[in-house]
Amino acid sequence: MDEQVDQLIQLLKDHGLRITPQRIDILKTIISMDGHPTVEEIHQQLELISLGTIYNNVKLFVEMGILTELPYGNGISMYEMHKPNHYHVICDSCGKIADFNYPDLKEVEDVASKLTNFDIHLHHLEIYGLCTSCQESDIKPD
């Protein structure tokens, strides 16, 4: 994790940003949570940093490409460290997000480009269903 944090600190410096203890703590917390936390969940881990400071820095990190915003499910954005070439499965009921890798979907971009003559540079794929916890509790989506 330290090497990843050092790389992110260098990226912040390269963008001319100050390296504050709050920014470092926010990045370390997101990395340690190893999932798709909301700003509120990050704040629960960092109670001494205001919610507004966390929101502002998360927004900045998204703009810089450090984080990816996942606005799926129940309308509350979740975040993850930017990872290319992966997809998400989202629970219709609780909003839990799981990653999965399937690199062959690059072929979809190639086909779309050939059929439309568009210069394709990005695609998103979300798959929706019920996570195992919601299946076991018989919670059904609205």
DSSP state of 15: T
Taking phi over 0 as left and psi of -120 to 50 as alpha, with beta for the rest, 30 belongs to alpha
Asked if 63 and 15 sit in the same domain, the reply is yes
CA 66 – CA 114 distance, rounded (Å): 31
Asked if 98 and 34 sit in the same domain, the reply is no
Asked if 59 and 17 sit in the same domain, the reply is yes
Q: What's the structural domain count of the chain?
A: 2
Flag whether pLDDT at 140 surpasses 80: no
CA 69 – CA 65 distance, rounded (Å): 10
**Confidence at residue 59, expressed as pLDDT on a 0 to 100 scale:** 96
Residue whose pair of structure tokens reads 């989506």 in the numeric block = 141
Segments forming the whole domain that contains residue 113: 87-136
Asked if 6 and 73 sit in the same domain, the reply is yes
More confident of the two residues 56 and 95: 56
Asked if 53 and 111 sit in the same domain, the reply is no
How many C-beta atoms surround the C-beta of residue 103 within 10 A? Answer: 10
Mean pLDDT to the nearest integer, 64-81: 86
pLDDT per residue as tens digits for the range 7-62:
999 999 999 999 999 999 999 999 999 889 999 999 999 989 999 999 999 999 99
Flag whether pLDDT at 142 surpasses 60: no
DSSP state of 103: G
Mean pLDDT to the nearest integer, 130-136: 92
Asked if 73 and 94 sit in the same domain, the reply is no
3-state helix, strand, coil in the chain (%, to 5): 45, 15, 40
The 3-state DSSP class for residue 114 equals helix
Asked if 31 and 53 sit in the same domain, the reply is yes
- pLDDT band for position 112 (cuts 50, 70, 90): very high
pTM of the complete model: 0.79
Closest CA to 69 of 42, 47, 106: 42
